[in-house]
Amino acid sequence: MQKISPFLWFDKQAEEAANFYVSIFPNSKIKSVSHYPEGSPYPAGSVMTVDFVLDGEEFTALNGGPEFKPNPATSFVVRCETQEEVDRYWEKLTGNGGRESQCGWLEDKYGFSWQIVPNILLQLVSDKDNARASRAMGAMLKMKKIDIKAIKQAADAK
Question: Is 143 in contact with 100 (CB distance < 8 Å)?
Answer: no
Q: pLDDT tens across 22-49, in order?
A: 999 999 999 999 999 999 999 999 999 9
Q: pLDDT tens across 93-110, in order?
A: 999 899 999 999 999 999
Mean pLDDT of 129-143: 97
Q: HEC profile for 8-71?
A: EEECCCHHHHHHHHHHHCCCCEEEEEEECCCCCCCCCCCEEEEEEEECCEEEEEEECCCCCCCC
Give me the CATH code for the 70-158 domain, please.
Answer: 3.10.180.10
| Between 58 and 2, the higher pLDDT residue | 58
- CATH of range 1-68; options 3.40.50.2000, 3.40.50.300, 3.30.720.100, 3.40.50.620: 3.30.720.100
Question: Is 106 in contact with 114 (CB distance < 8 Å)?
Answer: yes
Domain ranges of the chain: 1-68, 70-158
Q: What is the pLDDT of residue 1?
A: 72
Mean pLDDT of 7-33: 98
Q: What is the pLDDT of residue 158?
A: 77
Confirm whether 1-68 and 70-158 share one CATH topology. Answer: no
